[in-house]
Amino acid sequence: MTLSEQLAQYIVDVRFEDIPQDVVQFTKLCIVDYYSSLLKGQEAEPVRMMEQVAQLIGGEQQATAVTGLKTSITNAAFINGGASHVIELDDIHKASIVHAATVIMPAAIAIAEWKNLSGKQLIEAIIVGYEVAFRVGETVTPSHYYYFHNTATCGTFGAAAAVAKLLDLSREQIVQAFGSAGTQAAGLWEFIEDGAMSKQLHPGKAAMNGILSALLAQQGFTGATAILEGRRGFFEAMSDEYNVTRMTEKLGKQYKITENAFKVHASCRHTHAAMDLALELHKKVEKNGIDFIKSVEVGAYQVALDITDAKSPQTIYAAKFSLQFCVALALWTGEGGFDAFNADILQDPTIRKLMEKLTVSVDKNINSQYPQEWGAKIQIHWQDGSSDVVQSRFPKGDPENALTDQDFINKFNSLVPLEEAHKEKIIHDLLHLETIQVQQLIRTLHPVEHISIV
């Protein structure tokens, strides 16, 4: 069988009744985390632009965007994909380097709302979507990641898988859906060179393409049956080297969604281990002052430098992809959350002075453990000749350094700009999702009718 056929059989076979309760609970926490980013991200400028384009395109009122806009399922997924990614606090899987929620959940929730499906069905779909996206990402990482944004490329397969499950497609139809998904998978890292808004386009379009691929397959539209491993397929075209065994190893015998990790800092995940360490050192830096620092050495893995070695970011967004800025910010302010990245701090003279004392480089030991460990090391040299060294293997939010259930709720409450009673009701519905229909969740999220596309 082709890889697509094996994945398709897995998707068909998954049933909510067979899923362990701890996996169900973890999946619901993933959804809570998704809504934390989604509801906070709705006011961002790129998201408003995406909403305006959706209004221009038009469509039937099938699903609800985070802004309250009733629109087509594809438009809703497009907007929600961008909104859930824009504040840089969405989830991440280390081995695949995929932010799964921001692609899979917008697509799956739009379909589940449209078809009035149950929370149980949504949970099933999200689990299979994560499984597929993570496996594709693990197979092509790390070579694929240098040019391609895995969330967009590998995530497209995950979105197609989730939607296919919700639409109850046959094994043959799912294979065709993967063919269409793979030929649309795209997303280049060049946007990072000038802080372009393409990063929000990536998950929005991937979610949209996942829906399109599954709907086409439902109609009998065909795609390449060996889109992954074929001689002109995804692996050959988009990676220098790949490990096909990752695609099917223990498939159906484990739940890779439980490997998911979560953010506590509002920046690129590759900065987080170093930011955790900087926060440990903050009080000593604050006590001694910037002038007492002679130099700061940050060691990381090569991929972290490929993405975040930026000495002079000029926008808030670019600052979130600057290891130098993020470490200096955490060292001096003791903060790294959403509010820490603001216009006032961007050109703060103390932060910029500290950045000048800071160098980043590849640490051979840390690099050798990547991608299993996304570690970092910081050494501060003081003017009196002394130094402090701290090191971490796993940033906070990794499975090995996990958040508690209450941490997820606290993150939601700190980010979501709604009244307390409304937030409590949303959290209640999310944590009891298996007992309700998805349309009930949407009514809780959007109790008042908003503008609709006509």
Structural domain boundaries of the chain?
3-263+414-445, 269-396
DSSP codes of every residue in 208-268: HHHHHHHHHHHTT----TTTTTSTTSHHHHH-SS--THHHHTTTTTS-GGGG-B--SSSS-
Task: With a cut of 70, list the residues of the chain below it in pLDDT.
Answer: 448-454
> Which CA distances in Å does 341 have to 156, 201, 320, 338, 368?
30, 22, 8, 6, 31
Q: In CATH, which of 1.10.3720.10, 1.10.357.20, 1.10.150.120, 1.10.4100.10 is domain 3-263+414-445?
A: 1.10.4100.10
- pLDDT value of residue 448: 66
- pLDDT value of residue 193: 85
Q: What are residue 401's phi and psi, to 5 degrees?
A: -140, 60
CA dihedral angle for residue 307, residue 312, residue 314, residue 317, rounded to 10 degrees: 30
Nearest by Cα to 104 from 257, 221, 233, 240: 257
Helices 101-114, 73-85: axis angle to 10 degrees equals 150
pTM of the predicted model as reported, rounded to 2 decimal places: 0.94
For domain 269-396, the CATH class is alpha beta
- pLDDT value of residue 192: 87
- pLDDT value of residue 450: 47
Contact 53, 157 (CB under 8 A): no
